[in-house]
Amino acid sequence: MEQGMLEAATSAFAMMFDPWRMFLLFSGVIMGLVLGILPGIGGLAGTALLLPFTFGLDPVAAMALLLGLGATTATGDPIPAILFGVPGGAGSAATVLDGLPMAKRGEASRALSAAYMSSLMGGVFGAILMGLTIPILRPIMLYIGSPELLAFSVLGISFVATLSGKAPLRGLTAAALGIMIAMTGSDPQTGTLRYTFDTLYLWEGAPLTSIVLGFFALPELADLAIARTAIAGNMAKTDSHGMLQGAKDCFKHWWLIVRCSWLGAALGAVPGIGGAVVDWLAYGHAVRTEKGAAQTFGTGDVRGVIASESANNAREGGALVPTVAFGVPGSAGMAILLGAFMIHGLVPGPDMLSKNLHITYSMVWSVALANIVGAGLCYIFSEQFARLATLRYTLIMPSVLGIIYIGAFQGSRNWGDMWTLLIFGLLGWTMKQLKWPRPPLVLGLVLGEIIERYLFISIQRYGVDWFARPIVMGIFAISLFGLLRPLLQDVRKEGGVMGMLSGYGKPHFQRENLMNVFLICVFGYLLWEASTWNFSAKIVPMIVGSLGLAFCSISFLNEVSRRPALSADRVAKPDDKIHMDLESDTGHLALHVVLVRGLIFFGWLLAFMGSMAVVGIIPTVPLFVVLYMRLEGPEPWKLVVPQAICLTVFIWFVFDQLLTIPWPPTYLGTAMPWLKEFIPSI
């Protein structure tokens, strides 16, 4: 068996170095990097676009092209995340927490280099892990059922305690809200429509891409527009020295990369977990295990970048395991890859581990080589990328916002995506200003639906016996400890329960408490809405909503009634935990200035949407660029005109001609349909 595996691996390696196959791999890598840099687009659209082009290719060449793209999308993701605080994809949101602060203090090159090298090492590790474990993991994977998948999802939710930082109750409240948002849409058990507000748009659930972009990208851009500065004030450390330092950081923290890569590959192999949560779990793991992380993570610690990016890239190799061994896609991209299997007559399962073993190992080599080539290309252009962080906000804002809107539109290609982006952008900015941790909400949003689905499947298939399975019991015990650990630490530090209860006094209300009041009203409405549904549809929302209401109410009580030294939703010492989110850069400004400039920023977004509704997105882009750069700057026409033309041509070619996105209908197009012959996006 080992001899056959070695021969297949060697044969596949030789096949990959055929010039034509290497060209296809290289082409896929370039497309993957470009799609990774564009916020919200992701590799899914690119993989689907390339699928028809594999008809005339042999299986090895086809997999090289598709995996070259899929494996390197995550390598390009950290570029906008680090430079602008805009996640290139949902899987790079955690990179923002430390990458953006590093860019702000002039260490963009170091952060980018650390991201590239950790992505390379994580991706190669994931590929190696796949190559070594596919033959031996088959019997183990066959044992894993819905109870184990449920337990893994609950383990992910338990990381909320870590991702909540200084404010565990606020974090638990945000996680509960995320789970409630995940309940939106048609109930899989009974078909009951939950929280759809009588709109067809929400029948399929809340769009993750639009929410993540709104929640993490728009608040950072809003702060940049409010502060009216460049992201980084200097280039002192954004040079070749910074690039070298970032690579050294990865080799210095090689054990962190190994651990997070293993975590990313393992979670990637679990169907349904998804890439949007892997980086957060790896980040939480690093916070718990790295020395001094509680004081430095979230402020520009390179280890935070390394942890999230190594796990993110290792995920692709892990996702291939169930895809190849069982025909169960480990991600949406792997589902498209199964289409390529069908095109080329490949059947997932025993054949891929026997007579087609060389093709399986060619996929392993494709993932490994793609990560190496992708990281190399990023290193070549990294210093130029880093310089973008020193540009004035009026030069980068219109282009980034235009791409973000198109990226958000990829959620369901509906007008609702635009409103979702705006609503969650406003919510995310408010939470950031009031120091509410945002990562727990995303974690709850991603895992909430998975937990509910596997819970009902487990009950229907196993009854109550599913809870007694050994793996389930072990994972649940670890999850419970993870959730209770912060509370137990606080109880111990305050001298027991009585010590905690002795710190209450006369209520003192502040404007920050309005967020608690708002969320209490939200949970109350969601519970009232759910109370009329049948039992199967409402049981999970009622439990989660009640817990969220309780967490938020206790947090509110703490903030208004505890003595100032013990308030802010915590009872621990002031500096023992970090705020697990980005700090706002507008603290030096007066409140009325922040509010006025914030309203102006979101007013620009509304104006963009209004113009898009009237004339379409392609005519809106040059109009928006010109008006924003001239009115906010004002920037000279010699910079305004070329940027408006280049961005418009780029969007027209990539999204209209290449990806053929079906643009939403416009008022002008409805009134004068003959215009569509000249301007397709109308």
The helices-and-strands tally (H runs, E runs) of the chain is 30, 2
Query: In the 8-state DSSP scheme, what is residue 562?
Result: B
Distance of alpha carbon 452 from alpha carbon 538, whole angstroms? 11
* Cβ neighbours for 294, distance < 8 A, ≥ 6 positions apart: 287, 576, 577, 578
Point out the residues of the chain with pLDDT beneath 50.
Answer: 1, 3, 235-238, 565-576
With H, G, I as helix, E, B as strand and everything else as coil, classify residue 201: helix
Q: Which of 428, 429, 424, 437 is nearest to 569 (CA)?
A: 437
Contacts 24+ apart (CB under 8 A), 666-672: 666/612, 666/613, 666/614, 666/615, 666/616, 667/613, 667/614, 668/614, 668/615, 668/616, 669/616
Distance of alpha carbon 134 from alpha carbon 3, whole angstroms? 15
The residue written with tokens 């940049």 in the block is 224
Confidence at residue 524, expressed as pLDDT on a 0 to 100 scale: 94
Burial class, 613, CB count within 10 angstroms (exposed 0-12 / middle 13-18 / buried 19+): middle
Token pair for residue 464?
């109550």
170 backbone dihedrals φ, ψ, rounded to 5° = -65, -40
Confidence at residue 494, expressed as pLDDT on a 0 to 100 scale: 59
Confidence at residue 137, expressed as pLDDT on a 0 to 100 scale: 62
What is this structure's pTM?
0.77
Token pair for residue 272?
């349904």
Confidence at residue 1, expressed as pLDDT on a 0 to 100 scale: 47
Confidence at residue 590, expressed as pLDDT on a 0 to 100 scale: 83
Token pair for residue 333?
């991209």
Beta bridge partners of 504: 562
Instruction: Please give the angle made by the CA atoms of 329, 330 and 336, to the nearest 5 degrees.
Output: 45
Distance of alpha carbon 219 from alpha carbon 604, whole angstroms? 14
Q: How far is CA 561 from CA 144, 489, 497, 505, 555, in A?
A: 48, 21, 17, 5, 10
Distance of alpha carbon 671 from alpha carbon 668, whole angstroms? 5
Count of all residues that appear for the chain in the document: 682
Distance of alpha carbon 116 from alpha carbon 112, whole angstroms? 6
Q: How many CB atoms lie within 10 A of CB 10?
A: 12
**Which sequence spans correspond to the domains of the chain?**
15-566, 591-677
With H, G, I as helix, E, B as strand and everything else as coil, classify residue 504: strand
